[in-house]
């Protein structure tokens, strides 16, 4: 699907961009792979690792519509990964988060439509489902923009979908590198925000593979949600530092005890497939089918029960302490 095609990744110097680039170069032969981001140092460092002839590095911000429009010329597929992601930072810098996560999403959509990009997938987060923090609220707004873009495009051929998943093991700024740092420094305790806190758990490779597969599945307008395990943060601390005491420090600004990916209020629009859920748009599209019980690969889904919720604390698949340790090791490969 990606052989001979041009792909652009916004925020491409992040954890996802690195893994996606590695996977794409190993399994496909793209015509161009464009890394679009605003940090020249991160681009320089990434160039040392990925310097294949197809690689292109564009300095640019998703807030800059003109630059995005230039970067997307001749592009077939876009992955929108650029975002402000740190919950406390978003709480204290709300306007900056809005400009990047909402205004930036609109700019990506408009540039994609203007350049007749074939397919666009935006990365979302479990924090966008029934959000309680600004980051989650901006990503919910972004999700809504990408769903509605399938109407905005009119009779054009561009299609837009969203992928929503949970905490990515080992991604920059996440809890695993933080615990690793404390352990390496010989800290006398592991700080845990709350004894009951749970999270969805996915490896970077699983996230990348899920996004790639959904380019094949997508009709446009769906929110794809993978079926993944949950963990207890207390169990994570025990798995990583079994002999180190745990200290409960209280939840951070804007933080939830448990995360949700499929809200009950959207259950009438949610379909269960073999290894994932699809949240279909509540709005109607005027130039195409609105049937989401099957996808472009002819995989069949079924409606979930009314009131169904997919939440980290009631998830049927929880990892034990031993499984968490094994999962984290596999995530490093």
Q: Is the pLDDT of residue 197 over 80?
A: yes
| Per-residue confidence (pLDDT) for residue 332, from 0 to 100 | 80
Rounded Cα distance, 93 and 101, in Å: 12
Could you report the per-residue pLDDT of 206-249, keeping only the tens digit for each?
999 999 999 999 999 999 999 999 999 999 999 999 999 999 99
C-alpha distances (whole Å) from 246 to each of 184, 192, 195, 237 are: 16, 7, 9, 7
| Per-residue confidence (pLDDT) for residue 236, from 0 to 100 | 96
Residue 324 in any domain: the answer is no
Mean pLDDT of 296-302: 97
The structural domain count of the chain equals: 1
What is the β-pairing status of strands 260-262 and 302-303?
A: unpaired
C-alpha distances (whole Å) from 319 to each of 272, 306, 316 are: 22, 27, 10
Residues 73/74/80/84 CA torsion (nearest 10 deg): -30
Please, which residues bridge with residue 279 across strands?
Answer: 223, 270
| Per-residue confidence (pLDDT) for residue 243, from 0 to 100 | 93
Residue 24 in any domain: the answer is yes
Could you report the per-residue pLDDT of 95-112, keeping only the tens digit for each?
999 999 999 999 999 999
Give the CATH number for residue 50. 3.40.50.720
Residue 143 in any domain: the answer is yes
Could you report the per-residue pLDDT of 249-296, keeping only the tens digit for each?
999 888 899 999 999 999 999 999 999 999 999 999 887 888 999 999
Residue 91 in any domain: the answer is yes
| Per-residue confidence (pLDDT) for residue 170, from 0 to 100 | 81
| Per-residue confidence (pLDDT) for residue 174, from 0 to 100 | 84
Rounded Cα distance, 289 and 298, in Å: 14
Give the HSE-up count for residue 8: Cα atoms under 13 Å, Cβ half-sphere: 28
Residue 310, φ and ψ in degrees, nearest 5: -110, 100
Could you report the per-residue pLDDT of 113-135, keeping only the tens digit for each?
999 999 999 999 999 999 999 99
Q: Is the pLDDT of residue 333 over 80?
A: no
Residue 330 in any domain: the answer is no
Using alpha carbons, select from 267, 260, 240, 119 the residue that is nearest to residue 175: 240
| Per-residue confidence (pLDDT) for residue 184, from 0 to 100 | 94
| Per-residue confidence (pLDDT) for residue 149, from 0 to 100 | 97
- Among residues 42, 85, 119, 127, the one annotated as catalytic is 127
Q: Is the pLDDT of residue 92 over 80?
A: yes
Provide the domain limits for residue 280. Answer: 6-165+203-227+263-309
Entry pTM: 0.96
Residue 157 in any domain: the answer is yes
**Residue 98 contacts residue 194 (beta carbons within 8 Å):** no
The DSSP code sequence of 140-182 is HHHHHHHHHHHHHTTTS--EEEEE---EETT-TTSHHHHHHHH
**CA triple 27-75-137, angle to 5 deg:** 90
- Residues composing the chain: 333
Residue 320 in any domain: the answer is no
Residue 257 in any domain: the answer is no
Could you report the per-residue pLDDT of 1-26, keeping only the tens digit for each?
999 999 999 999 998 999 999 999 99
| Per-residue confidence (pLDDT) for residue 289, from 0 to 100 | 82
Could you report the per-residue pLDDT of 136-181, keeping only the tens digit for each?
999 999 999 999 999 999 999 999 999 999 889 988 878 999 999 9
Could you report the per-residue pLDDT of 37-89, keeping only the tens digit for each?
999 999 999 999 999 999 999 999 999 999 999 999 999 999 999 999 999 99
Our answer to whether residue 181 is catalytic in this structure is: no
CA–centroid distance for 251 within its chain: 23
Going by pLDDT thresholds of 50, 70 and 90, the confidence category of residue 331 is: confident
Rounded Cα distance, 92 and 90, in Å: 5
Structure tokens at 145: 């923009």
- In this structure, the number of other CB atoms found within 10 A of the CB of residue 316 comes to 8
Q: Is the pLDDT of residue 330 over 90?
A: no
**Residue 163 contacts residue 217 (beta carbons within 8 Å):** no
Using alpha carbons, select from 122, 93, 89 the residue that is nearest to residue 105: 122
């Amino acid at each position: 699907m990606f052989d001979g095609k041009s792909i652009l990744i916004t925020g491409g110097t992040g954890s996802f961009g690195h893994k996606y680039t590695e996977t794409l170069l190993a399994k496909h032969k793209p015509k161009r792979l464009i890394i679009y981001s605003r940090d020249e140092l991160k681009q320089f460092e990434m160039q040392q690792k990925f310097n294949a002839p197809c690689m292109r590095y564009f300095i640019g911000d998703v807030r800059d519509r003109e630059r995005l429009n230039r970067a997307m010329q001749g592009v077939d597929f876009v992955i929108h990964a650029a975002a402000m992601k740190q919950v406390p930072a978003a709480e204290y810098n709300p306007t900056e988060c809005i400009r990047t996560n909402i205004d930036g999403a609109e700019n990506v959509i408009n540039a994609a439509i203007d350049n007749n990009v074939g397919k666009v997938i935006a990365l979302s987060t479990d924090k966008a489902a029934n959000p309680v923090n600004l980051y989650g609220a901006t990503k919910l707004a972004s999700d809504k923009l990408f769903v509605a873009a399938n109407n905005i495009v009119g009779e054009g051929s561009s299609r837009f979908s969203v992928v929503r998943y949970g905490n990515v093991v080992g991604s920059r700024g996440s809890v695993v590198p933080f615990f690793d740092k404390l352990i390496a420094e010989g800290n006398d305790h592991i700080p845990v925000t709350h004894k009951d806190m749970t999270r969805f758990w996915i490896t970077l490779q699983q996230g990348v593979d899920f996004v790639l597969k959904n380019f094949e599945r997508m009709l446009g307008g769906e929110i794809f949600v993978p079926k993944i395990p949950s963990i207890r943060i207390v169990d994570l601390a025990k798995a990583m530092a079994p002999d180190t005491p745990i200290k409960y420090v209280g939840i951070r600004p804007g933080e939830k005890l448990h995360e949700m990916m499929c809200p009950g209020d959207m259950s009438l629009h949610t379909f269960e497939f073999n290894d994932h859920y699809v949240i279909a748009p509540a709005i109607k599209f005027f130039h195409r089918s609105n049937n989401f019980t099957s996808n472009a690969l002819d995989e069949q889904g079924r409606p979930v029960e009314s009131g169904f919720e997919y939440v980290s604390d009631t998830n049927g698949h929880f990892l034990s302490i031993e499984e968490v340790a094994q999962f984290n090791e596999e995530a490093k490969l």
